Homo-oligomer: A and B are copies of this chain.
Amino acid sequence: MSKPRARTSSRRKSAPATRAARRHSSSAGAPAEPVEPDTRERILAAGAALVGAKGFNGCGLSEILQRAGVPKGSFYHYFESKEDFGVALIERARDEYLDSLRTHLGDRKRSPLARLRSIFEDTRAECESNGPTVECLIPKLALETATLSEPVHAAVKCAYQQWSALIAQVIREAQSAGEVARSHDPDHLADVLVMLWEGAAVRMQIDRSIGPLDDFLAFVFDTLLPARR
């Protein structure tokens, strides 16, 4: 029953987008793109939007490709299978998110606690403007496919570990700076923050309101972290 499955993990094969096809208009949307993004990225972007909205199994390849303005034949040039595509989607979302995290956390002009706070408030602001529909792709894909596909599972797990580690690091700095009670174990506290944030994000989608994110911020920064002892 199970397909043969071609072991290799994936990892963008090289730099396939030589010069990024100039012609080939057909692109429905993009009005003034300086250099139109390479095909692979276009597929991923369309996929992220669609999968975020309708789930991984909820949308078909054809739909994604049509939205990306890319023919089917190209898809299988860049990805081995839909599953492989899912992994790429997660890696992309993870890299994007972790990069933004590192940017915030590396801002030495602010105190560690302020930096920590900023990463959550930033997302909150984004959700406020884009509507609470903004989807966290990762938990979504995680719940939907993690039980089925080992590669997807691995990608998700890795994303969470890195995320937790970054938070733990800034907590340590905040403790050194005396901004956070030393009684908290940084690693456990980081896990708690990540879990709570995750839960808030899920709840936000359910309530269709950013209220849960506000609850998160209020609880974490007004109650939890400043706690004596």
A207:B144 contact, CB within 8 angstroms = no
Task: Select one of B55, B148, B199 contacting A196, CB under 8 A.
Answer: B199
Q: A58-B57, A188-B219 are in contact. Are A147 and B199 (CB under 8 A)?
A: no
Residues in B with CB closer than 8 Å to A207 are 157, 160
Most B-side CB within 10 Å, residue of A160, A197, A205, A208: A205
Minimum CB–CB distance from A145 to chain B (whole Å) comes to 7
Task: Select one of B55, B156, B203, B215 contacting A144, CB under 8 A.
Answer: B55
B215:A143 contact, CB within 8 angstroms = no
Residues in B with CB closer than 8 Å to A224 are 224
B140:A144 contact, CB within 8 angstroms = yes
B160:A206 contact, CB within 8 angstroms = yes
Minimum CB–CB distance from A154 to chain B (whole Å) comes to 10
A215:B188 contact, CB within 8 angstroms = yes
Copies in the complex: 2
Minimum CB–CB distance from A82 to chain B (whole Å) comes to 12
B54:A148 contact, CB within 8 angstroms = yes
Task: Select one of B144, B148, B229 contacting A228, CB under 8 A.
Answer: B229
Q: A144-B144, A207-B157 are in contact. Are A202 and B139 (CB under 8 A)?
A: yes
A53:B196 contact, CB within 8 angstroms = no
B140:A143 contact, CB within 8 angstroms = yes
| Cα distance, A208 to B146, chains bound together (Å) | 10
Minimum CB–CB distance from A124 to chain B (whole Å) comes to 14
**Nearest opposing residue in chain B for A198, CB measure:** B199
Closest 7 CB pairs of A and B: A195-B199, A199-B199, A57-B57, A198-B199, A55-B144, A196-B196, A57-B58
| Sample (24) of A-B pairs whose CB atoms are under 8 Å apart | A53-B147, A55-B56, A55-B145, A57-B57, A58-B148, A140-B144, A143-B202, A146-B206, A147-B205, A153-B208, A160-B206, A188-B215, A188-B218, A188-B219, A192-B215, A192-B219, A194-B199, A194-B203, A195-B196, A196-B199, A198-B203, A199-B199, A202-B202, A224-B224
